[in-house]
Amino acid sequence: MRFSHDRPAGRAGYDPPVTPQAVPLPTSPLTVATVQAEPVPGDVAGNAATAARLVGRAAGARVVVLPELFLPAYHPPTLGADPAGTDVAADPEGRVEDARLDPLRAAARDGGTCVVIGAAVRHPDGRRTISSLVIDPAGAVTAAYDKQQLWSGERELFDAGRRGASLRVEGWLFGLGICYDGCFPEHGRAAALDGAHGYLCPSGYLAGSEHRRDLYYAARALDNTMYVVFANSVDGADPWRFNGGAAVYEPEGRPLVRGADTGEDVLVATLDPAPLAATRAAHTMLTDRLPDQGLARTTLIG
Q: What is the pLDDT of residues 198-215, one digit of tens each?
A: 999 999 999 999 999 999
Q: Is residue 131 part of a domain?
A: yes
Provide the domain count of the chain: 1
For residue range 9-26, list pLDDT tens digits in order: 333 444 555 567 778 999
How high is the pLDDT of residue 180? 98
| Cα angle, residue 204 at apex, residues 203 and 209 outer, rounded to 5° | 110
| 184: in domain | yes
Residue 105 confidence (pLDDT):
98
Domain boundaries, position 156: 2-283
Q: Is residue 291 part of a domain?
A: no
Q: Give the Cα separation of 278 and 285 in Å (integer).
A: 13
Q: Give CA–CA dist 224/193, Å, rounded.
A: 8
- pLDDT of res. 12: 42
- Mean pLDDT, the chain, rounded, equals 94
Residues near 203 by beta carbon (within 8 Å), at least 6 away in sequence? 67, 68, 178, 179, 182, 213, 230, 231, 232, 233
Low-confidence ranges of the chain (pLDDT < 50): 6-14
Cβ atoms of 68 and 240 closer than 8 Å:
no
Position 39 in a domain: yes
Give domain status of residue 288, yes or no.
no
CATH value at residue 100: 3.60.110.10
Cβ proximity of 255 and 218 under 8 Å: yes
* pLDDT the model gives residue 1: 53
- The reported pLDDT for the residue numbered 42 is 98
Q: Within a domain: residue 298?
A: no
